Structure 1
Amino acid sequence: MSPNNDPVAIPMIERNPSDLPGMDSSDPDTLTGEAVLSFHNISYRETVQSGFPFCKKTEEKERLSNVSGIMRPGLNAIMGPEDGRSWLLDVLAARKDPRGLSGDILINGKPQPANFKCTSGYVPQKDVVMHTVTVRENIEFSAALRLPMTVKRDERRRRIDEVLELLHLDEVANVKVISKELRKKTSVAMELVTEHPILFLDDPTTGLDLKTAIDVISVLRKMSMRGQTIIFSINQAQYSIFKSFDSLTLVTSGKVMYHGPAQKALEYFTLAGYKYDCHNNPADFFLDIINGGFSDLLNTEEEADKYTELSERQYQVTEKLANMYAQSSIYREMRTELDPLLGEQRTGWSSALEEITCVTPFWHQLWWIIYRSFKNSLDFLNATVTQKETILMLNLSLLLPPFSPGRAGLLFSLTILQIIISMSACEFFVIDKDRFLHEHTSGYYRVLPYFLGKLLAELVPRRLLPSIIFTVIVVSIAGVKTDVNGFFTMLFTIMMLAYSASSLPLCFKAGESAMGVPTLLVTIYFVFMLVSELCLSEREIFLVSTSHWVRAVHVPETPEFH
């Protein structure tokens, strides 16, 4: 079947090769101009652990098997089941552990630079934008940390305004990133502002309505016409989206079923004997083929009984399509282009690709992290004030008879209050874990300025202000008799207690991606510490020693009662 006679033949996109993004060529590790990415016989094996702790079993799973191809400037789509398309995309983007990879990935016939993850754009499927700041502020953060210091502020603003207009975000530039559509567009804008020659996107249309998805793809098409190499995975594509593709890669079970021009894919499969309904979407037609016709079979009543047969059939279909592609003329044409690119470059994937480079100095990164963290803290101001007001009322109620426990009880309550507040310290880094991993890997900042910035802008103020406020209230209302030296001793002790108590939740959360179990462990320990202080005598020295934070109350008691 000829695409010229087919009513759904896919037209080729016309590009202007002279309209290219400006890049600094003085750095040998910086990609310049148009970039052609080629991959040669790459395979990837993942080490998977399963079972209970201390007795886990380790096995290797093959995610990619002898995959080769070439991605030129334009829209390069990767379609297929999620485990196949996402693995191929992440491996090409150097986002997977290089120890499981074999084969060669080249840029313009040369090995990927050591800082490839920092010189290429990557939009993850899960949105990692900061929801508590505006669209413009998110893009400014990316531009400020990923563009060299030689780029002047006016040039940076020009790029930001251009990207906002390109994505139709200029009217909502000062709106906080709340909706899913706005988050996705902002994620794309944060990568486009850097003007990297290669941009990877993991399912950029997932969760979007058709209109927004078409807008995103049309913007990517415009950028590809300016010389960018756009590589993205996509689950299902409407015809209005599919017709924009330049290159199409169909992958399933780690093997390539088709890799070549998108407008030739329909002819390729119809000539192979697959019947195409002209009213069907070509993208759905291709997915039905590589899935072995599962979309029809899984709706039958014999679904449960034939699961094993379907799995076996899927394997047979995969092998058949992979062999058919390996013997096709499209594959031979692709090999004639790939082999000269490979040449003598047989370096494999080096651990040097783990290098993270930043184009801005330490102080610049620290300032922008503090600025964004402070803006983020302002959004939680109302919730924080409400929480402090509630705790304040509970403490003031202790002054009313018959609940008044006396001054010693108030000091003890103040100590316990600091410990309870400190339990929330874990959220500072756990909530931002995915965002940190993406931004650090992409070269926004190093670990030290991020840690210090979060500490100075969020953790310290949220521990400092409550300590001062509640200490002053207890001293003034409860009538604690102490001099200036005793007051500041009490204040300093409470502050150190708050910071010390915050360290335990941070330690528990350091290696966890979820907050449930570590929060429970911290709560149990704090309760046990409180009980050991109230109910045990000094003779149980071991148990009493576990309540060292609660026993900090004896320090402020000293200037009051002794």
Structure 2
Amino acid sequence: MELIIDPPVLFLDEPTTGLDASTANSVLMLLKRMANSGRTIILSIHQPRYSIYRLFDSLTLLVGGRMVYHGPAQVALNYFSQIELDQEQLSLSLKGIEDRLVEEYKNSINYKRTKSELKRIIKGQDYSTRPKSRTVTYSTSFCHQFHWVFKRTIKNLMLNPQTSVAQVGVMILLALVVGAIFFGVKENSSGIQNRMGALFFISSNQCFSTMSSAELFIIERKLFVHEYISGYYRVSVYFLSKVLSDVLFLRTIPGIIFSCVIYWMIGLKATAEAFFIFLFSIVLVSYAATSMTLAISADQTVVTIANIFINNIFVLMMIFSGLLVNLPSVADWLNWLKYLSIPRYGLAAVEINEFTSLIFCDTRNTSGIEKRVCSTGEGFLNEQGVDYSTWGLWQNHLALGIMTLIFLIITYLKLRFIKKFT
């Protein structure tokens, strides 16, 4: 993976650990060929066999964290063979021998050459204590990065289908249960209540079903940070890949299946136009709720904490959705909260779509005479304070779209500015 970005300098920490002798030799032969092509390779290694040792150009030896040799690898043996240890030093502890080796190196010509080279390198350089900003560079284009990151994200979903299958399965089961409860609603007063109950449940359920996306950026946080600072891909590439895969496979497809099952079981307005407006409204609610969930969880490190915040916000939004309380009767200093309610816009859209042009009639017995009393869907919407004009319908979709965009921007900014460097 580190070779993907073709780095000019490659650092390796014990690359032969856990490998058999043949494989370890093959790995080092590959590294040697890369070094010969102009790449600088720096690695740490313990007790290499001679066939590996002879591949090294430069060697640094440490004893207890102190340097005892730095120079050409092939002359190291001659260097140490020239150091004479008398009988008194040999009888000393290992610490005494280490101290002698450290002192010998400090007096060696290799040490003087190294110090001279370091002075030449740092001459004229600004080494103030102020930390330098880090800039991540990329070897590939945005489209190239997006292709592979999105492909990996989709492949991970396919290799671990439990989440998407469970999402679809739960949606189908819920649609069947709710569809059976509200099955075949009538066009009378009970039909008004049942329609409102069904539409309220559907719009609210679309919000709570998006809570699974809270872990989208949390579980891969360390992987994302590592790959980003290594220069594999841009933040925007990762953000778009994760959001698009989640929206497509866990929001759009389950939302379409859910709508197809529940809409016709309940017996809502049986026209193609009404159905597709209903479907569009439900999917937009899901998008807005998903983007809000991502905006809250993007900078969190614990899924449970994020879920607590999200759950409480959705509950508050439900109160101002337009069913549990009559919104025009709410005090002005609280009434503004309705403009932040995602289920309110969704419920208003599906309400307008369903109730307009419908007539609800009941037969009532008054003084022994049966009378047919009728009311219009538009009259009911007026009572609820809902604007059922064409603009009244589409302003809800526009509001959901704007909220989705704002929350996605917040999500991206959180990913862009989370602490990545230590």
Superposition TM-score tier, normalisation by shorter sequence: 0.5 to 0.7
Identity percentage of aligned residues: 31
Within-5 A mapping of 1:475-490: 475-490=263-278
- Give the letter aligned to residue 465 of structure 1: I
One of 548, 558, 561 as aligned partner of 2:341: 548
Match of 2:41 in 1: 230
Shift of 1:443: 4.2
Q: Larger deviation: 399-408 or 502-511?
A: 399-408
| Distance (whole Å) between structure 2 residues aligned to residue 504 and residue 270 of structure 1 | 71
Shift of 1:461: 4.7
One of 198, 219, 229 as aligned partner of 2:30: 219
Secondary structure, counterpart of 2:41 in structure 1: strand
Q: Cα 1:357–1:197, aligned 2, differ >3 Å: closer, same or farther? A: closer
Check whether the contact 1:358–1:443 (CA below 8 A) recurs between aligned residues.
yes
Match of 2:11 in 1: 200
Check whether the contact 2:69–2:105 (CA below 8 A) recurs between aligned residues.
yes
One of 376, 386, 393 as aligned partner of 2:173: 393
Check whether the contact 2:207–2:289 (CA below 8 A) recurs between aligned residues.
yes
Q: 1:29-85: CA deviations, max 9, x gaps?
A: xxxxxxxxxxxxxxxxxxxxxxxxxxxxxxxxxxxxxxxxxxxxxxxxxxxxxxxxx
| Distance (whole Å) between structure 2 residues aligned to residue 274 and residue 431 of structure 1 | 60
- Give the letter aligned to residue 292 of structure 2: L
Within-5 A mapping of 1:354-503: 354-381=134-161, 383-400=163-180, 406-503=194-291
Check whether the contact 1:423–1:522 (CA below 8 A) recurs between aligned residues.
yes
Secondary structure, counterpart of 2:264 in structure 1: helix
Aligned residues: 333
Check whether the contact 1:425–1:459 (CA below 8 A) recurs between aligned residues.
no
One of 301, 306, 319 as aligned partner of 1:518: 306
| Distance (whole Å) between structure 1 residues aligned to residue 177 and residue 113 of structure 2 | 82
Q: Cα 1:479–1:401, aligned 2, differ >3 Å: closer, same or farther? A: closer
Shift of 1:484: 3.7
Within-5 A mapping of 1:171-182: none
Shift of 1:225: 4.6
| Distance (whole Å) between structure 2 residues aligned to residue 410 and residue 246 of structure 1 | 75
Match of 1:331 in 2: 111
Within-5 A mapping of 1:47-126: none
- Give the letter aligned to residue 190 of structure 1: I
Match of 2:362 in 1: none
Match of 1:81 in 2: none
| Distance (whole Å) between structure 2 residues aligned to residue 205 and residue 515 of structure 1 | 37
Match of 1:560 in 2: 354
Shift of 1:213: 5.2
| Distance (whole Å) between structure 1 residues aligned to residue 279 and residue 206 of structure 2 | 12
Shift of 1:374: 3.8
Shift of 1:432: 4.3
Q: 1:132-188: CA deviations, max 9, x gaps?
A: xxxxxxxxxxxxxxxxxxxxxxxxxxxxxxxxxxxxxxxxxxxxxxxxxxxxxxx25
Check whether the contact 2:175–2:261 (CA below 8 A) recurs between aligned residues.
no
Q: Cα 1:266–1:410, aligned 2, differ >3 Å: closer, same or farther? A: farther
Q: Cα 1:363–1:242, aligned 2, differ >3 Å: closer, same or farther? A: closer
Q: Cα 1:454–1:375, aligned 2, differ >3 Å: closer, same or farther? A: same
Query: Which is helix-richer, 1 or 2?
Result: 2
Match of 2:125 in 1: 346
Secondary structure, counterpart of 1:354 in structure 2: coil
Shift of 1:501: 0.9
Check whether the contact 1:214–1:240 (CA below 8 A) recurs between aligned residues.
no
Q: 1:308-364: CA deviations, max 9, x gaps?
A: xxxxxxxxx99998777544544223224444x528542448988734444544444
Shift of 1:384: 0.8
Q: Cα 1:394–1:444, aligned 2, differ >3 Å: closer, same or farther? A: same
Shift of 1:465: 1.9
Query: What is the alpha-carbon root mean square deviation over aligned residues?
Result: 4.7
Q: Cα 1:494–1:273, aligned 2, differ >3 Å: closer, same or farther? A: farther
Check whether the contact 1:474–1:480 (CA below 8 A) recurs between aligned residues.
no
Secondary structure, counterpart of 2:202 in structure 1: helix
| Distance (whole Å) between structure 2 residues aligned to residue 443 and residue 346 of structure 1 | 26
Secondary structure, counterpart of 1:190 in structure 2: coil
Q: Cα 1:401–1:550, aligned 2, differ >3 Å: closer, same or farther? A: closer
Shift of 1:230: 0.9
- Give the letter aligned to residue 30 of structure 2: V
Check whether the contact 2:164–2:249 (CA below 8 A) recurs between aligned residues.
no
- Give the letter aligned to residue 519 of structure 1: N
- Give the letter aligned to residue 35 of structure 2: S
Matching of residue 190 in structure 1 with residue 4 in structure 2: yes
Shift of 1:451: 3.2
| Distance (whole Å) between structure 2 residues aligned to residue 446 and residue 270 of structure 1 | 54
Shift of 1:385: 2.0
Q: Cα 1:266–1:437, aligned 2, differ >3 Å: closer, same or farther? A: farther
Check whether the contact 2:182–2:266 (CA below 8 A) recurs between aligned residues.
no
Runs of 4+ in 1 over 6 A off after TM superposition: 251-255, 272-275, 317-324, 349-353, 402-405, 531-537
Shift of 1:496: 1.8
| Distance (whole Å) between structure 1 residues aligned to residue 27 and residue 335 of structure 2 | 61
Check whether the contact 2:211–2:290 (CA below 8 A) recurs between aligned residues.
yes
Check whether the contact 1:419–1:501 (CA below 8 A) recurs between aligned residues.
yes
| Distance (whole Å) between structure 1 residues aligned to residue 202 and residue 33 of structure 2 | 60
Shift of 1:548: 1.4
Which structure is richer in relative contact order (CA contacts within 8 A, separation 6 or more)?
1
Check whether the contact 1:410–1:474 (CA below 8 A) recurs between aligned residues.
no
Q: Cα 1:366–1:225, aligned 2, differ >3 Å: closer, same or farther? A: closer
Secondary structure, counterpart of 1:522 in structure 2: helix
- Give the letter aligned to residue 259 of structure 1: H
Q: Cα 1:343–1:437, aligned 2, differ >3 Å: closer, same or farther? A: closer
Secondary structure, counterpart of 1:480 in structure 2: coil
| Distance (whole Å) between structure 1 residues aligned to residue 315 and residue 67 of structure 2 | 57
| Distance (whole Å) between structure 2 residues aligned to residue 377 and residue 521 of structure 1 | 26
Give TM-score scaled by structure 2 length: 0.60
Shift of 1:460: 4.2
Secondary structure, counterpart of 1:429 in structure 2: coil
Check whether the contact 1:366–1:453 (CA below 8 A) recurs between aligned residues.
yes
- Structure with larger Rg: 2
Match of 1:50 in 2: none
Q: Cα 1:394–1:242, aligned 2, differ >3 Å: closer, same or farther? A: same
Shift of 1:470: 1.3
